[in-house]
Amino acid sequence: MNKKSLILDYIVTFFLSFALLLASFLTTKNISANNARKELSYYGEEVSKTYRSETDKDVTISCFSKIQDIRISIFDLDANVLLEINQFDKNPVKEDRKKELESHADSYYYKDSLTMGYSVLYFVKKTSVYYIRVGLPRSNVEEAANLLLLYGSIALVALDSLYFVYRYFTYRKALNQLRNEVNKLKELSPHPNALAVGNDLEAIDKGIADVSLNLKEKMESLHRESLKVDYILDSMEEGLLVLNEKDQIILINKYALNILSLEKEDVLNKEFHYLMLGEEFKNKIQEAKQKEYLSYDIERKGRTYELLLSLVPLDWLGKENIKGLAVLFLDVTEQRMNEKLKRDFFQNASHELKTPLTTIVGYSELLSNSLIKDKKERKKALDVITSESKRMRTVIDDMLSLATLENDEKPTPLAPLNAKRAVEDVVSSLSLIAKEKGVSIKTHLEEVTLNILPMDFDRLVRNLVSNAIFYNHEGGHVILRLDSSSFSCEDDGIGIDEKYQQRIFERFFRVDKSRSRKDGGTGLGLAIVKHICLNYHYRIQLVSHIQEGSKFTIYFK
């Protein structure tokens, strides 16, 4: 509402009040006139009962002379005056008077008094022998209505003025309060100084519209930022959830929900029990609140996750000096597996080196103390020392090769390698061993060029072919195939049990340990093959059945 509206409101209110006053005045005037007519009719009737003849003149005067403002006149049928009480005016001439009485018999009429200067309401009652005329000044008839009009007008002006003053100051007060609130809202705008708030309602309306627009832009900006934060949280490669001071979940990202197989609406703003992490998680929460930070592992869906629990301030929720708990889920499956592999590696390496070393030390002590007298036995002991030394060197060489492969140390760009010739060289070098084992080697080789270090390709092929020979039986076969997309090594030997097929690429893992050691194997051959494939982005596939043989296929693309 502006000033124009306020004035218009006052004018409308004034005219409505005036219309009400006018209606009241007219209603009161009409009621007063009806009451006056009834009063005149009543007195006319009473006079007719009292005045019967000339002898009743004194009685009539005595009865009605004390009634103020009532004029009573009695005329015979010729309009001669028989009696007058409280006369207001001189009677007109007889002829006019008779005409007046005859025309208004048994009715009401107003007549102006020329001498008195006001109008009179008359009622004429006609009997069989005379006329009775009863009059009442018009001012008496309309007195109540006139007083209502006078005092009502004064009251109307006074009340409307008070109403206007009240509305004006109420309007100003509301306007000031509204302007103050708008000024507060301005502070939420990105550009508060650019928003002007005037002193009238239209200016404030404009200010509110400007603030509303700016707040809408800010809310949209906050919504975009919220979506951005949600996108970032849901794009994380780690699970994240935050508990408030009441241990209720106030934030959780998609990764954490996937780990826990939950939906956001099932856990958000609910207690941590809904995470279904068990009693251990409950205990870890209490422990983290004491230590401020801790971690532990859980298993979910066949994978290992490290949970990092740490206290975090909740200032971003408007809670000062209050801390919640952030829980980070890290997928450490490969890390824990590598740690286990390293532990197993050092344990197995220690065992692999300790066994020949024990043999070497034992025979060396026997020889140094001259405890072996027989010349043949001494030679046998020396042969064992030499054999075990070579075995130790082979194990150490394979360990060093594996370490080199894990570091992925190779020159770039790589020189092209004739893969067919490299395979033929390996077959040639192993042909004597194959002949001794009674195993035949057949090849189906195409001319293929690969970008790979000759030593790496040689180790890849040699380890596969060696295993195909050693884990075969007399009369067995090994078939090698090479084309532009793959290299395969197939045998019809002892095969590999399905339960071991996922582990054969682990360091020092042997399906048949006695056969491997007897043939000089280190247990690192297939681990070396796996790491060569990883370094060159090759894919390795194994198909094997017990007592039917195995087929290893290396895909180059």
Q: Which two tokens stand for residue 509?
A: 């893992």
From residue 70, give the alpha-carbon distance in Å to each of 7, 21, 39, 67. Answer: 49, 30, 10, 6
Tally of structural domains, the chain: 5
CB 525 within 8 A of CB 489: no
Q: Does residue 206 sit in the same domain as residue 316?
A: no
Check whether residue 313 and residue 397 sit in a common domain.
no
457 and 540 housed in the same domain: yes
pLDDT at 163 over 80: no
Helix 419-437 to helix 454-470 angle (10° resolution) is 30
Residue 187 lies in a domain: no
- Banded model confidence at residue 189, pLDDT cuts 50, 70, 90: low
The dihedral built from the CA positions of residue 332, 336, 342 and 348, taken in this order, carries a sign that is negative
Other CB atoms within 10 Å distance of the CB of residue 496: 21
Question: Greater confidence, 450 or 19?
Answer: 450
> Can you read off the two tokens belonging to residue 183?
């000024």
> For residue 116, what pLDDT is reported?
62
HSE-up of residue 19 (Cα within 13 Å, Cβ side): 6
Q: Specify if 411 maps to a domain.
A: no
550 with 427, same domain?
Answer: yes
| Structural domain of 491 | 416-555
Question: Do 257 and 381 fall into the same domain?
Answer: no
Res. 408: pLDDT tops 80: no
Same domain for 221 and 242, yes or no, is no
Residue that is last in its domain, among 406, 431, 450 = 406
Helix, strand, coil shares of the chain, percent, nearest 5, are 55, 20, 25
Most confident range (mean pLDDT) of 41-45, 107-111, 342-346 is 107-111
How many whole angstroms separate alpha carbon 373 and alpha carbon 381? 11
Non-local CB neighbours of 196 within 8 Å, separated by 6+ positions? 203, 207
User: For 108-128, what is each residue's pLDDT tens digit?
Assistant: 888 876 656 678 888 888 888
221 and 302 fall within a common domain: no
Query: What is the tens place of the pLDDT at every residue in 169-188?
Result: 776 777 777 777 766 666 65
242-258 residue pLDDT tens: 999 888 998 888 888 88
pLDDT tens-place string over residues 260-269: 888 988 888 8
Tell me whether strands 440-445 and 477-482 are parallel, antiparallel or unpaired: parallel
> In 295-374, where does DSSP find H-type helix?
333-368
Residue 168 covered by a domain: no
Q: What DSSP character marks residue 91?
A: -
Give the closest residue to 414 by CA, choosing from 456, 373, 386, 382: 456
Other CB atoms within 10 Å distance of the CB of residue 544: 20
Q: Which two tokens stand for residue 385?
A: 């020392």
300 and 358, same domain (yes or no) = no
**pLDDT (0 to 100) of residue 338:** 77
- Of 548, 551, 529, the closest CA to residue 539 belongs to 529
- How far apart are alpha carbons 15 and 61 in whole angstroms? 50
pLDDT of residue 194: 47
In a domain, 302, yes or no: yes
Helices (H) and strands (E) in the chain, counts: 15, 17
pTM, two decimals, is 0.44
Q: Does residue 85 register a pLDDT over 60?
A: yes
CA atoms within 13 A on the CB side of 324: 21
Residue 21 structure tokens: 């006053």
Q: For residue 485, is pLDDT > 90?
A: yes
How many angstroms separate the Cα of 500 from the Cα of each of 33, 41, 120, 152, 343?
123, 132, 134, 112, 20
Stretch among 305-319, 344-358, 449-463 having the lowest mean pLDDT: 344-358
CA distances from 134 to 38, 39, 506 (A): 11, 9, 138
The span from the CA of 131 to the CA of 145, in Å, is: 31
Give 308's strand partners. 295, 328
| Domain co-membership, 437 together with 505 | yes
End-to-end Cα, the chain, rounded Å: 79
Find the CATH number of the domain harbouring 370. 1.10.287.130
Q: Which of 406, 437, 461 is the last residue of a domain?
A: 406
| Mean predicted confidence (pLDDT) in 442-448 | 95
In a domain, 342, yes or no: yes
Q: Are 226 and 241 in contact (CB under 8 A)?
A: no
- My answer on whether 27 and 117 are in the same domain is yes
- Decide which of 152 and 336 is more confident: 336
Cα→Cα distances 533→346, 449, 528, Å: 23, 16, 9
More confidently predicted of 300 and 366: 300
Between strands 107-112 and 119-126, the pairing is: antiparallel
Q: Residue 237, CB half-sphere, CA atoms under 13 Å: how many?
A: 2
* Amino acid 75: pLDDT: 86
**Rg (Cα) of the chain, in Å, rounded?**
62
In a domain, 259, yes or no: yes
**DSSP secondary structure letter of residue 536:** T
What is the token pair recorded at 375?
A: 């010349």
Name the CA dihedral angle for 273, 275, 279, 283, rounded to a multiple of 10 degrees.
-90
Question: Counting every residue, how long is the chain?
Answer: 557
d(CA 320, CA 261): 33
What CATH number should be reported for the domain holding residue 33?
3.30.450.20
More confident residue, 25 or 285: 285
Q: Which of the two residues, 299 and 184, has the higher pLDDT score?
A: 299
At residue 538, the pLDDT reads 92
pLDDT at position 516 over 60: no
- Packing angle of the helix pair 201-235, 143-186 (nearest 10 deg): 40
| Mean pLDDT across the chain | 79
Answer yes or no: are the C-beta atoms of 63 and 74 closer than 8 Å. Answer: no
The tokens for 195 are: 């928003």
Residue 477 maps to a domain? yes
Q: What three-state secondary structure class fits 270? A: coil
Same domain, 44 and 96: yes
Q: How far apart are CA 522 and CA 349, in angstroms?
A: 10
Indicate whether 319 and 349 sit together in one domain.
no
- Which residues in 143-283 belong to E strands, given as ranges? 239-243, 249-252
Domain-ending residue, one of 308, 331, 354: 331
Cβ–Cβ < 8 Å for 89, 122 = no
Residue 284 lies in a domain: yes
Within 10 angstroms of residue 489's Cβ, the number of other Cβ atoms is 25
